[in-house]
Structure formats: C-alpha cells, structure tokens
C-alpha cells in the first residue's frame, strides 16, 4: 500500500511540475496588451460582448461572428461571461487563455492514457504539447481563445468516446456527443472530430463494423450542420491550374509538419512562396518531404501504428486548410496546428519512451537539450505578441514585402503614440516595394489608398499642411468606394475642419460596413461640430452600446451634455470617467466644469485640489485655478493663472 501511494505521489508531483513549468513559461502573457489583429473585432468592438445584455448572449448563437464570417458562439460567450464576471481586460483574457492551455495539457495526457500509452509516453506527449513553440500563439493572443476552447471540448469528447467503447455506457456516449457540439460551436475546425472517432476505432479496435459507423452519424450530422454555416459564408469558386495549384496544395500539406519538427524562426503570418514553380526550393522540398512520409506506413514494427495514427490524425484535422490558390495574402498560420499536432506529440511520446528503455543516460541528455531549446523558442515566440508594435515588427522582419503588416503597424503607432519614423517606414519598406507585388489593379490601388492616407495623417500631425494638401489630391486616395476609404476621407476632412464633408463620408461608411463604435463616435463628433446636438448624443449612445465604457465616447458625450445644459447627465458621465481612469485629465476637466455650473464650489475645489496634487504645473490646472479665482472675484490671481495656462500651451 505504501509503495502504491509512493508511486501515485511521484506521478502526481511529475504532472504538477509539468503544469507549473508551463505556467511559468507562459506567465508573461498576463501582462500583454490586446493587439490590432482581430482582437478589436472579436472582443473589444464585438457587439454581443460589449452590450452587456443577456439578449446579446443569445445573439451569439443566432448570428455569425463579424470576423471572417465564422460561427463560434461559445467563444463569444466566453468573452461575454469574462466581461460580466471580471470586466474585460487584456490581463484577464490572457490569464484565462493560459488556464485553458493547462487544462488542454491535462486532457492530452489523459487521452494518451486512454489510447493505451504508458505513463511515461503519455507524460512526454503532454510535455511536448505544453511547451512546443507552435502552441505559444493561441496562448499569447487573446483571440486565440477559440483554438483553446475547441481543443478543450474536442479532447473531452475523444476521452468520453474511448471510455464509452470500453464500457458501452450510454451516458458516456451522450457526454462525448455534447462535448463534440461544444467544440464545433467554439471553432469550425472541429468538423474533423467524427473522422477522428473512426480513426480511434481503427487504431484501438482494428475494425469498423456497422455499429461503429452508425454511432458516428449523430456526430457527422451535428458537426456538418454547424460548420456549414461558416462554409456557406466563405464558399467561393476555386480556380485549379496545373501544375501551380497542386504545388500550392502540396506546400500547404507539408508546411505544418515541417514547422512542427523545425520550429525555428516561426512567424505568426505566412503567405504562399513566390514564384509558384517547381524550381522554387520551397515547393520541391515540400514534394520531397511528402514522399519521405509515405514509406513510414510500410514499416511493420511496434511503433508503426503510432506513426500511422500521427500522420492520419494530422491529415484528417487539417486537409480542409490546404488550399489550391492564392486567394488571400495570408494562407497558413502556425496556430492552426494547436490540436492537429496531438498525433505527432503522441508519436514522439512513444519514441521517447523507447529511447529511455534503451539508454537512459543518453536519452535524458538529448531530451534535456531539446527541452531547453523548446523553452527558449517558446519564450521568444510568445514575446512577439506583447503588443501591436512587437507583433507586426516581427511579421515585417520575416516578411518585409508584406504591405499589410506595415499598414497594421502604422495603424497601431497612430492609435497609441506619435512616431517620428512613420513616414520613412512607409517610404522605405512599402511604397518602393509596391510595384513589384503580383496583385491586381484594384488591390494595388487599395494599398496605395492606405499608404497615402497614413502619410496624409502623418503630415497633419506634423502640421505640414502643404504636404497634406498635395497627398490629398492624389488620384489613388480618392477613387475606391469602400468602407475603409470612406472612413479615411471622413477622418481627413474632420482633421482639417471640414465637418460637412466629414459627416458625408462617415454616413457612407456607416451604411456600407458592419457596426463599429468609431464610426458612430465620429458621426457624433461631426453632428456636434455642426450644432446638431440631439443627433450627436444619439450617435454617442450608439457608440457606447457597441463599446461600453469607452473613455473617448463618454468624454465627448459628457461635454455635449454640458454644452446643452444637461448638467446632471454630464455629471454622471464625468463620474463614470473618473471610475474608469482616476488619473485621466479629461475626466477632471469635465467634472470641474460641471460642478462649477451646478454651483457646487466646494466640490469643484476638491477636484482642483486633487489636480494640483497630480499635475501641479499643467496648463489645464492653471486654467482651472484661473476660473476658480475669477469666480471668487480675485481678478489679479485669475489673470496670472490664465497667463500661465496660455504660456504652457493650454488650448482655449
């Protein structure tokens, strides 16, 4: 009995050590920001999440997601519940992702045991899965929640199914089916699950009788119906050209296996290698790699079934990702390999066990080196997701010709801070490379539209109006009727004070694209500038429905309320701003002015006193001191403070 407890205790400590190591390895992600790659559309600006109403939770099941027309209601619900319980922040999103990854690691271990592997082989498989650099992306990216959730439900379904096949208990079959539905509702990639159930039957039970096939029909029906929603939204004709299409297909098929076994210099975004020709090393290496994989099925040894399981599991769970064309700029993504790598991890776990049985000393030495190497690569990979700047900079380092990455990095820079190198960044890396890009006329003009807009915006921020005027009249900046172009034009007109034209283009943008808080916000700003205050407040309210507690919108609405004399509503917005950020100057400015208007001088003085402790030499504080002194009839002191505010750059 003591030996049994001791053995159980050692296994428990080993699993605990693996989970602790994984948590420590990925713990930096808790401090990462949201990035401007799908996070805004999936989370920050997702209407079902931001409304905070229970009805929106049902909307997640009745509407497809507004990113890539995918149907993933469970993922949307997870962010909705996160917001209701913890408040939506990047820290909570990343922490939950990390916890989900730890749960998936446990399920990988348990599934390996259910498949008949020993503790050692199962533990090795779980360790490879937990620490592999390819798996850093779903953990470090907030939107990667969909990969983690679908893997969690998927593995749970497989485990319940394995136990059902051993006992034929109906409750285990029902649990397996429910988990399968949960997986496909988390991400459409779970459509492979019924095929994997057939694979498990083949590997475990060596037969595929009538009963085993009939058991899969409910899985096929449920998965096909749900995944079909996303398929119908994204279906398109695929042009097949020989031999180019088949070279592209073969490259996709081999890419993920190559990245799994050689995870060095991974990028988060990839495109089809150019030119598409057998003379391109990327394609003949892929063809050679696929030829090397095939003979492994002919080997009649003990590990042959695990090799076959690994390759077939990979094929069945990724074949629908292998493309024949270059429809998108980005065609592969290493995070797609999060669950499909399971079979390879199990095969390597078996190999590691065999190596330990033959020579413990050398096996441990080699495995230690692989462990350290994998941890270093995983840490480096996760750090790329720290913020939008680090993410897109890494993509640009690996794909300097990818104009999309430069555009997104510039968007992050303009959204967060002024960056003096922005113009040169575009000139050096994007604009000069554009003529060599193999794209259609419309796509090239779309790129030029983006480039000229950001150069125009850069010029405005530098107060270089002469340059901005020249850029504004470029033909490429004017001609494409798209939501992005309308927004760019509207923002440009707003910056130069032409509110009528700005309003016109934001109305067009609002009518052509999906709902976004920023469009409603800018409509409200333009209506306010044109004196239509009631309409302005209406659009500010719509913006807050799409993104609750948005600081900029609340500040604008509060100022609007104060302008029309609704001081109580302005006061409520000012208090809400203060709770969002107790050290934001805009909240203090609005609160001070509203309290003065309400005649609450003591409270206004308390706000001013707090400002003095936070920013004793800021222009806003000088101005408030002047206003307060003038209110009390001290004209001399008021003049002094107003003069100090003007000298320190206060905008009247």
Q: What is the pLDDT of residues 334-361, one digit of tens each?
A: 888 999 999 999 999 998 888 888 777 7
pLDDT, average across residues 32-48: 78
At residue 101, the pLDDT reads: 95
pLDDT at 434 over 90: no
383 versus 517: the higher-pLDDT residue is 383
Over 50: is that where the pLDDT of 442 sits? no
Q: How many CA atoms lie within 13 A of 525 on its CB side?
A: 23
**What's the confidence (pLDDT) of residue 302?**
66
Mapped onto helix, strand or coil, the DSSP state of residue 270 is strand
Please give the average per-residue pLDDT across 225-249, as a whole number.
Answer: 71
Distances (CA, A) of 580 to 35, 301, 391, 459, 577: 20, 64, 27, 32, 5
Query: Which residues, listed in sequence order, are joined to residue 270 by a DSSP beta bridge?
Result: 332
Can you give the pLDDT at residue 579?
Answer: 74
Could you tell me the pLDDT band of residue 51, with boundaries at 50, 70 and 90? low
Phi, psi of 266 (to 5 degrees): -70, 140
Residue 28 to residues 148, 567, 619: CA-CA distances in angstroms? 18, 44, 38
At residue 239, the pLDDT reads 61
For residue 170, give the DSSP letter: H
Contact 383, 28 (CB under 8 A): yes
Query: By C-alpha distance, which of 78, 131, 127 is closest to 106?
Result: 127
Question: From the centroid of its chain, how far is CA 619?
Answer: 39
Per-residue confidence (pLDDT) for residue 168, from 0 to 100: 83
Q: Quick one: pLDDT at residue 408?
A: 73
| More confident position, 130 or 237 | 130
Sequence-ordered list of residues with C-beta below 8 angstroms from that of 101, at least 6 positions apart, any chain: 22, 26, 130, 135, 138, 139, 148
pLDDT of residue 297: 62
pLDDT higher than 60, residue 296 = yes
| Nearest Cα residue to 26 out of 102, 93, 92, 82 | 102
Tokens 């009249």 belong to 473
CA nearest neighbour of 551 among 508, 593, 585, 516 = 585
439 versus 266: the higher-pLDDT residue is: 266
Whether 504 has a pLDDT exceeding 60, the answer reads yes
Angstrom CA distances, 95 to 24, 30, 82, 323, stand at 12, 5, 11, 34
What are the Cα distances from residue 101, in Å, to 22, 97, 143, 365?
9, 6, 14, 27
Average pLDDT, the chain: 77
With 80 as the cut, is the pLDDT of residue 13 above it? yes
CA distances from 377 to 131, 262, 269, 380, 395 (A): 9, 11, 17, 5, 16
**499 vs 493: CA distance, rounded Å:** 7
Q: What is the mean pLDDT of residues 302-324?
A: 85
pTM of the prediction?
Answer: 0.71
Q: What confidence tens digit (pLDDT) does each residue in 576-612 have?
A: 877 776 666 777 777 777 777 777 777 777 877 777 7
Closest by CA to 257, choosing from 192, 331, 343, is 343
Highest mean pLDDT: which range of 199-213, 246-260, 462-476 = 246-260
Residue 508 has pLDDT above 90, yes or no: no
Percent of the chain scoring above 70 in pLDDT: 76
Question: Nearest CA to 31 among 82, 95, 103?
Answer: 95
How far, in Å, CA of 478 to CA of 487, rounded? 12
For residue 154, CA distances in Å to 101, 192, 194, 197, 209 come to 13, 10, 10, 11, 24
Domain locations along the chain: 13-383
Q: Which residues of 89-116 are buried (b: 16+ CB within 10 A; e: fewer)?
A: ebebbbbbbbebbbebbbbbbbbbbbbe
What average pLDDT does range 168-175 have in this prediction?
Answer: 90
Q: DSSP label at 384?
A: T
pLDDT for the residue 12: 84
pLDDT for the residue numbered 74 = 86
Task: Name the least confident of 104-108, 248-252, 256-260, 594-598.
Answer: 594-598
Tell me the range of 224-228, 391-395, 424-428 where mean pLDDT is highest: 391-395
Residue 209 pLDDT greater than 90, yes or no? no
What is the C-alpha separation between 626 and 288, in angstroms, rounded? 78
Which of 36-45, 54-63, 579-588, 642-651 shows the highest mean pLDDT? 36-45
Q: For residue 484, name the pLDDT band (cuts at 50, 70, 90).
A: low
Per-residue pLDDT at 37? 82
Please report the DSSP string for 557-583 in residue order.
HHHHHHHTT-HHHHHHHHHHHHHH-TT
């Amino acid at each position: 009995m003591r030996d049994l407890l001791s053995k159980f205790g050692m296994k428990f400590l080993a699993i605990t050590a693996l989970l602790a190591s994984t948590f420590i390895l990925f713990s930096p992600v808790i401090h990462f920001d949201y990035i401007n790659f799908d996070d805004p559309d999936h989370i920050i600006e997702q209407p079902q999440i931001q409304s905070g109403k229970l009805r929106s939770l049902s909307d997640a099941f009745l509407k497809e997601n507004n990113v890539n027309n995918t149907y993933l209601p469970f993922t949307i619900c997870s962010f909705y519940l996160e917001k209701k319980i913890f408040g939506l922040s990047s820290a909570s999103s990343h922490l939950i992702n990390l916890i989900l990854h730890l749960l998936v690691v446990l399920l990988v271990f348990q599934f390996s045991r259910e498949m008949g592997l020993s503790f050692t082989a199962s533990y090795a498989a779980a360790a490879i899965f937990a620490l592999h650099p390819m798996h850093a992306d779903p953990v470090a990216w907030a939107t990667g929640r969909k990969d983690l959730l679908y893997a969690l439900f998927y593995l749970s379904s497989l485990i319940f199914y394995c136990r059902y096949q051993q006992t034929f208990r109906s409750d285990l079959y029902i649990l397996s089916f429910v988990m399968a539905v949960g997986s496909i509702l988390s991400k459409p990639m779970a459509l492979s699950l019924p095929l994997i159930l057939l694979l498990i039957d083949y590997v475990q039970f060596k037969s595929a009788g009538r009963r085993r096939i009939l058991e899969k029909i409910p899985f096929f029906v449920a998965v096909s119906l749900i995944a079909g929603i996303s398929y119908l939204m994204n279906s398109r004709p695929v042009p097949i050209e020989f031999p180019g299409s088949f070279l592209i297909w073969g490259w996709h098929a081999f890419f993920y296996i190559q990245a799994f076994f050689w995870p060095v210099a991974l990028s988060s975004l990839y495109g089809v290698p150019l030119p598409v020709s057998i003379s391109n090393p990327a394609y003949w290496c892929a063809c050679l790699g696929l030829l090397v994989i095939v003979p492994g099925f002919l080997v009649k040894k003990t590990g042959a079934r695990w090799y076959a399981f690994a390759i077939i599991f990979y094929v069945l769970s990724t074949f629908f990702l292998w493309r024949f064309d270059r429809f998108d700029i980005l065609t592969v993504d290493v995070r797609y390999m999060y669950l499909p790598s399971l079979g390879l991890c199990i095969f390597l776990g078996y190999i590691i066990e065999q190596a330990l049985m033959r020579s413990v000393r050398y096996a441990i030495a080699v495995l230690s080196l692989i462990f350290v190497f994998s941890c270093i690569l995983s840490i480096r990979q996760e750090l790329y997701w720290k913020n939008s700047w680090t993410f897109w900079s890494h993509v640009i380092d690996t794909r300097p010709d990818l104009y999309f990455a430069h555009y997104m990095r510039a968007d992050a820079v303009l959204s967060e801070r002024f960056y003096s190198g922005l113009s040169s960044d575009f000139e050096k890396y994007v604009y000069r490379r554009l003529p060599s890009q193999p794209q259609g006329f419309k796509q090239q003009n779309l790129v030029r539209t983006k480039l000229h807009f950001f150069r125009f915006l850069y010029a405005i921020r530098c107060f270089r109006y002469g340059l901005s005027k020249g850029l504004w009249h470029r033909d490429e900046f004017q001609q494409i009727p798209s939501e992005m172009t309308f927004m760019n034009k509207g923002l440009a007109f707003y910056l130069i004070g032409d509110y009528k034209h700005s309003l016109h283009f934001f109305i067009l943008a609002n009518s052509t694209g999906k709902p976004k808080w920023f469009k409603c916000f800018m409509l409200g700003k333009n209506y306010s500038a044109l004196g239509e205050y009631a309409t302005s407040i209406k659009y500010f309210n719509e913006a807050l429905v799409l993104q609750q507690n948005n600081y900029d919108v609340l500040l604008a609405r509060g100022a609007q309320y104060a302008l029309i004399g609704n001081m109580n509503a302005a006061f409520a917005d000012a208090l809400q701003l203060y709770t969002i950020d107790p050290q934001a100057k805009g909240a203090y400015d609005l609160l001070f002015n509203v309290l003065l208007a309400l005649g609450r001088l003591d409270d206004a003085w308390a706000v001013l006193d707090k400002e003095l402790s936070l920013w004793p030499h800021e222009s806003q504080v000088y101005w408030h001191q002047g206003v307060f002194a003038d209110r009390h009839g001290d004209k001399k002191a008021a003049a002094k403070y107003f003069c100090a505010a003007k000298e320190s750059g206060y905008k009247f």
